[in-house]
């Protein structure tokens, strides 16, 4: 500690004393008289100096980095406790020794080069390097002081290992995703500015790497207006969960055309950079296949409808003539009447099957139109109560053996902006499903309620209900609940009805849903915004 104290005293005296002016005779006389009056105590001055040196030494020991001082001959004059621990030798063995003799591994390394440069130039230097005889990394600072050098250093091995691992991970990432060009990839900030994009994505949107480097591409500007709300939902999902689920959208290309894509994204772990990475799949080929499939289904549907219409008409004509013959012929034998009765029943069954097939073909055509965005709505101000009541009355007539209850709201009318035929189609589908999947002895209830600015239409049944898993997928295209049993015995279901209902209601700016308990029945509902919200209070 004595040598350290001396070094600390030496560090304190870094500035030389300035020369004083020669005092005048009057000043010398005054100083002499004053010195006779009060001479300082030398022992007190020494104690004050020792106290100051001790205080400086204590401060130097508090430095958390390794810290030492070398003189002009590279001899160690001060070593703090942290440096002693890092080196692994007691300071008594270090002080007074030449640093290059103590650490011969440093000779010829960046450590020596930077140290000698700092000593010669008397300028501060800072650098990072790996100790030659080990895998330990250090951050080192040289500061000239009193002709020698103050040296600060701390071990950064853990930080360097993380840095090297990140670099290796980035290299693998670039090799697997960016350079491989298996799918499109872009890295942007939340404002849409590109930081990186691979060639697959640039080809997708028709831009070059020169365009990217010039900052001419912004993913927000690439997005058509109708998809910006969906992008905002994805950004909010990113902020909340660090990732967003895949979703479909379109990008503008450099030529102004559109390319359909499937995109998913995630935020980088270092959230300070606020960077987002997105994987993009070009959906052009898939959309073309879907278009061809839907066109084919549309053609098939129309081709099936033509002969089916003829078959249905022929059956109805035969049934009318048969019944006319039965009504005008009074001398028929019992056997003939029995045969004619069975024939009428067969014709009735055949006619019902044509109605089933007609409904399936209509669903198929509607689904194909929805897929290619060719289903048009004739929106007009309409009274939803009237639409629902008339649909219920029609189904009461065609399903006279079943009980269909209607619970209208208290309001006399509920105006909505709707296509009456399409909304009636949704109501009919809900009721038909309720009749199909519930016991013939159980009633089906249609209810209308008003909440805030929306009107709700409910269809309640007492069937077997839906499992939680089935409720999650019941609106999916071609989905059929695995345990659903058709109580009417039709046994034909393409899994399109509820999918079509969902799309139709969404195009009316409404919502759909289901509440169901397995074994207790289901309640399907849809809502539409009121054209005049004030009616909900009347």
DSSP assignment of 85-111, as one string?
HHHTS-HHHHTTSBHHHH-GGGTTSHH
Residue 405: the pLDDT is 96
The token duo for 94 is 């270090």
Adjacent-strand bridge partners of 530: 416
> Within the chain, which residues score under 50 in pLDDT?
12-20, 35-36
C-alpha span between 219 and 188 (Å, rounded): 8
Q: Could you tell me the CA-to-CA distances from 471 to 109, 296, 525 in Å, in that order?
A: 70, 31, 13
C-alpha span between 142 and 134 (Å, rounded): 22
Residue ranges of the chain assigned to CATH 3.30.565.10:
380-537
Q: Which CATH number fits domain 2-12+45-155: 3.40.470.10, 3.30.70.20, 3.20.20.70, 3.30.450.20?
A: 3.30.450.20
Identify whether the C-beta of residue 194 lies closer than 8 Å to the C-beta of residue 219: yes
Identify whether the C-beta of residue 139 lies closer than 8 Å to the C-beta of residue 151: no
Q: Which pairing describes strands 444-451 and 404-407: parallel, antiparallel, or unpaired?
A: parallel
- Superfamily of chain region 161-282: PAS domain (3.30.450.20)
**CA torsion angle 81 86 88 89 (round to 10):** -40
Residue 56: the pLDDT is 54
**Which residue in 307, 184, 178, 316 sits closest to 251, CA to CA?**
184
Which residues, other chains included, contact 108 with Cβ-Cβ below 8 Å and sequence gap of 6+?
Answer: none
Identify whether the C-beta of residue 96 lies closer than 8 Å to the C-beta of residue 79: no
Which residues, other chains included, contact 106 with Cβ-Cβ below 8 Å and sequence gap of 6+?
Answer: 99, 100, 112, 132
pTM of full prediction above 0.95:
no
State the number of CA atoms in the 13 A half-sphere of 512 facing the CB.
25
Residue 324: the pLDDT is 86
DSSP secondary structure code for residue 417 in this structure: E
Phi-psi domain of 96 (left: phi exceeds 0; alpha: psi -120 through 50; beta: other): left
Which residues, other chains included, contact 97 with Cβ-Cβ below 8 Å and sequence gap of 6+?
Answer: 75, 76
C-alpha span between 260 and 283 (Å, rounded): 5
Residue ranges of the chain assigned to CATH 1.10.287:
287-371
Q: Which CATH number fits domain 287-371: 2.60.40, 1.10.600, 2.40.160, 1.10.287?
A: 1.10.287
Residue 19: the pLDDT is 47
380-537: CATH number: 3.30.565.10
Identify whether the C-beta of residue 127 lies closer than 8 Å to the C-beta of residue 118: no
Contacts for 465-470: CB closer than 8 Å, 24+ residues apart = 465/516, 465/517, 465/518, 465/519, 465/520, 465/521, 465/522, 466/514, 466/516, 466/518, 466/522, 467/518
C-alpha span between 499 and 502 (Å, rounded): 5
Residue ranges of the chain assigned to CATH 3.30.450.20:
2-12+45-155, 161-282
Residue 18: the pLDDT is 43
The token duo for 361 is 């073909």
Residue 15: the pLDDT is 40
């Amino acid at each position: 500690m004595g040598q350290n104290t001396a070094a600390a005293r030496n560090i304190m005296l870094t500035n030389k004393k300035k020369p004083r002016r020669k005092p005048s005779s009057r000043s010398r006389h005054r100083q002499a008289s004053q010195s006779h009056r009060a001479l300082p105590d030398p022992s007190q001055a020494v104690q004050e100096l020792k106290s100051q040196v001790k205080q400086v030494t204590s401060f130097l020991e508090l430095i958390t980095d390794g810290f030492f001082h070398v003189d002009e001959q590279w001899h160690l004059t001060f070593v703090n406790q942290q440096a002693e621990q890092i080196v692994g030798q007691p300071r008594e063995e270090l002080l007074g020794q030449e640093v290059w003799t103590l650490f011969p591994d440093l000779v010829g390394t960046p450590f020596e080069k930077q140290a000698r440069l700092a000593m010669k130039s008397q300028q501060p230097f800072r650098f990072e390097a790996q100790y030659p005889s080990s895998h330990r990394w250090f951050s080192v600072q040289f500061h000239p002081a009193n002709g020698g050098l103050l040296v600060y250093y701390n071990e950064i091995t853990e930080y360097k290992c993380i840095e090297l691992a990140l670099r290796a991970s980035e290299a693998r990432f670039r090799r697997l995703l960016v350079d491989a060009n298996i799918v499109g990839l872009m890295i942007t900030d939340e404002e849409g500015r590109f930081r990186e994009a691979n060639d697959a994505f640039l080809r997708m949107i028709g831009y070059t790497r020169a365009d990217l480097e010039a900052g001419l591409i912004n993913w927000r500007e690439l997005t058509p207006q109708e998809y910006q709300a969906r992008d905002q939902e994805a950004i909010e999902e990113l902020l909340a969960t660090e990732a967003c689920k895949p979703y479909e959208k379109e990008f503008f290309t450099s030529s102004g055309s559109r390319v359909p894509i499937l995109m998913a994204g995630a935020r980088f772990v270092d959230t300070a950079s606020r960077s987002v990475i997105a994987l993009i799949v070009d959906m052009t080929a898939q959309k073309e296949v879907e278009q061809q499939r839907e066109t084919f289904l549309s053609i098939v549907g129309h081709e099936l409808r033509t002969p089916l219409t003829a078959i249905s008409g022929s059956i109805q004509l035969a049934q009318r003539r048969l019944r006319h013959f039965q009504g005008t012929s009074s001398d028929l034998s019992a056997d003939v009447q029995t045969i004619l009765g069975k024939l009428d029943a067969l014709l009735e069954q055949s006619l019902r099957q044509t109605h089933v097939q007609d409904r399936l073909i209509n669903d198929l055509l509607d689904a194909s139109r929805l897929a290619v965005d060719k289903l048009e709505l004739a929106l007009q101000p309409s009274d939803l109560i009237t639409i629902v009541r008339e649909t219920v009355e029609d189904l009461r007539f065609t399903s006279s053996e079943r009980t269909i209850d209607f619970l209208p709201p208290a309001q006399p009318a509920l105006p909505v902006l709707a296509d009456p035929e399409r909304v009636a189609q949704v109501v009919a589908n809900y009721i038909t499903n309720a009749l199909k999947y519930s016991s013939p002895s159980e009633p089906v209830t249609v209810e209308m309620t008003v909440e805030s600015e929306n009107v709700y239409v409910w269809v309640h049944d007492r069937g077997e209900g839906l499992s939680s898993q089935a409720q999650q997928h019941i609106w999916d295209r071609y989905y059929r609940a695995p345990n659903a049993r058709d109580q009417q015995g039709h046994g034909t279901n393409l899994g399109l009805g509820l999918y079509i209902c969902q799309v139709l209601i969404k195009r009316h700016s409404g919502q759909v849903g289901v509440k169901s308990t397995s074994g207790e029945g289901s309640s399907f509902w849809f809502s539409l915004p009121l054209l005049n919200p004030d009616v909900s209070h009347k």
